[in-house]
Amino acid sequence: MSLHTDFIVIGSGVAGLRAAIALAEKGARVTVLTKDKTSESNTEYAQGGVAVVLAEDDNAELHEGDTLVAGAGLCDVSAVETLVTEGTRYVKELIDWGTEFDREGGKLIFTQEAAHSRRRILHAHGDSTGAEFVRSLIARAGAEPLINLTPFATTESFIVSQGRCVGVRFLDPILRAPREIVGRAVIACTGGAGQLYLHTTNPPVATGDGMSMAYLAGAKIADIEFVQFHPTALSLENAPRFLLSEAMRGEGGILRNKYGERFMPRYDERAEMAPRDIVARSIILEMRKTGTRTAFLDMTALDAAFLKHRFPKIYETCLAYGLDITKDLLPVSPASHYFMGGIRTDLWGRSSLPGLYAAGEVTCTGVHGANRLASNSLLEGLVFGARAGEAAFQDSKDIEISSFKYEPASADASNGAGIVSTAVRKRVKRTMWERVGILRDRDSLERGLAEFDQILASSLGSASRNFVTLAKLVATAALWREESRGGHFRTDFPKAEDDFRVHSIQQLGEPITTEAVDTSEKANSV
């Protein structure tokens, strides 16, 4: 028997929790499904902070300009305008809800990161901003009796009835059996897909289910070829690819090669403060040149007490692996970090499939263009999570859940389907890293696609099929885009081309199409 609620939110990161709160505040019953424990999401691992216009020497125009530059000509201007103007209001609201950003003498502390023209980054507990976001939002959501948080519920597919998304099939966390939950609308806030790659800063839950589920349900997927690789992940044998925050370079960290030479000025005049895609490629090229698997982040010129206070979690984690950030050079190499592409939505989270809304990293609103500006992701989840909740409520007032018709899943349909098989996971992750990674070319991409087609031809559970489907979408778009722009770099097409200054669109059963980049600033009403 199916479960019924007013609205279903998938994911408990910043976007999902903020969407759920927006709906509950309007009197709607909300069920939040999340794959792991409620606090486990990409949000929790965000170290650097949240970019927001609050400092006296800053304004929305400057933040918008920095975002557009980083986006390499592919940002939708109206989306960026929405982010930077509304972001201030929503961050102030978070503070009112008890979010504790770092202060000095009672005043908020602002830091600077790569490609920002002002110190506008707020952080919490030094390098644990995401965890503080999650803590305060879970506390706020917990105060809403209409929100039902359901952890350990793995979603498998969207339920579509008469051309509308009306619910979700998921694995019941207690029975480990398939169930359906239906409602007036679904808001996907499932985060990114860093786990597609062999090396990633993302937690195990970041497998991109929401993107592939939306595609298989008929929704449009945009710009999925644009993957941001964080330049500086800790690179040690038998250690996780722990993120060494962008803020470390923002505070004065230097990148060196195995000979101790500073190399970034040779690649870009902005050196360590260049956008992430440039820094990541530069590190890869320097490693190839020197025949090594790592570069090194040098923080030793900075005051030891300052480093321990500013980066307490990073300091403690590195120390556990025998490295003192105040004294030692830290071995680093790039790792997959963030997806700029995803479910194509408007500025209110509406996808091309009626009834399906989305917010956060799972989407492509056009905010990030071809390359996300550092610390814009938490702000995006906050702003567009709230807007998606508001739009879903307004659009669905007259929807009658009892009118939905759909086929219930059979009792054995999810036998082993909720988990990506180990063999498929390993094969896809290595292929993505070697064939669809930081540096791409036609031959590698075609080989990758052939590998994915071979895997898809075998018998797969739903989770494995979702995983491989998304990998194929990334490779397909990367092969189509015969240029280099932002997080997508083709060694056989190393320059940006005006003909490709468009969004790539993939939809089930259709060849790749394009959408023009929105270059106009305009108000957008719900």
Q: In this predicted structure, what is the pLDDT of residue 27? A: 97
Q: In this predicted structure, what is the pLDDT of residue 39? A: 65
Question: Does position 524 have pLDDT exceeding 70, yes or no?
Answer: no
Q: In this predicted structure, what is the pLDDT of residue 525? A: 40
Question: Does position 475 have pLDDT exceeding 90, yes or no?
Answer: yes
With contact defined as beta carbons under 8 Å apart, do 264 and 280 qualify? Answer: no
Of 372, 339, 312, the closest CA to residue 79 belongs to 372
- pLDDT band per the 50, 70, 90 thresholds, residue 270: very high
Q: What is the pLDDT of residues 368-409, one digit of tens each?
A: 999 999 889 999 999 999 999 999 999 998 898 887 877 776
Strand partners, 357: 187, 350
Q: Which helix (H) or strand (E) holds 405?
A: none
Q: In this predicted structure, what is the pLDDT of residue 521? A: 65
Side-chain half-sphere exposure of 152, counting CA atoms within 13 A: 6
Q: Residue 293: phi, psi to the nearest 5?
A: -100, -5
**Domains (ranges, CATH) in the chain?**
235-335 (3.90.700.10)
Torsion of CA 271, 276, 280, 281, to 10 degrees: -80
DSSP 403: G
3-class DSSP string for 82-123: HHHHHHHHHHHHHHHCCCCCCEECCEECEECCCCCCCCCEEC
Q: In this predicted structure, what is the pLDDT of residue 277? A: 85
Q: How far apart are CA 331 and CA 235, in angstroms?
A: 5
With contact defined as beta carbons under 8 Å apart, do 187 and 16 qualify? Answer: yes
Choose from 120-124, 364-368, 458-462 the range with maximum mean pLDDT. Answer: 364-368
- pLDDT band per the 50, 70, 90 thresholds, residue 417: low
With contact defined as beta carbons under 8 Å apart, do 191 and 205 qualify? Answer: yes
Question: Does position 414 have pLDDT exceeding 70, yes or no?
Answer: no
With contact defined as beta carbons under 8 Å apart, do 160 and 128 qualify? Answer: no
Select which of 169, 179, 276, 310 is catalytic.
276
Q: In this predicted structure, what is the pLDDT of residue 246? A: 81
Task: Please list the alpha-helical segments (H only) found in 254-372.
Answer: 264-267, 276-290, 304-310, 312-320
Task: Give Cβ neighbours of residue 165 (< 8 Å, ≥ 6 apart).
Answer: 158, 159, 185, 186, 217, 353, 354, 355, 356
Q: How far apart are CA 304 and CA 311, in angstroms?
A: 11
Q: Answer yes or no: 169 catalytic.
A: no
Question: Does position 40 have pLDDT exceeding 80, yes or no?
Answer: no
Residue-averaged pLDDT of the chain = 92
Structure tokens of 254?
A: 């230097």
Beta strand ranges found along 221-351 (DSSP E): 221-222, 227-234, 254-256, 295-298, 330-339, 342-344
Q: In this predicted structure, what is the pLDDT of residue 410? A: 57
Q: What is the pLDDT of residues 278-321, one digit of tens each?
A: 899 999 999 999 999 999 999 999 999 999 999 999 999 999 99
Question: Does position 76 have pLDDT exceeding 90, yes or no?
Answer: yes
**pTM summary value:** 0.92
More confident residue, 37 or 28: 28
For 50, counting Cβ atoms within 10 Å of its Cβ (0-12 exposed, 13-18 middle, 19+ buried), the class is buried
Question: Does position 47 have pLDDT exceeding 80, yes or no?
Answer: no
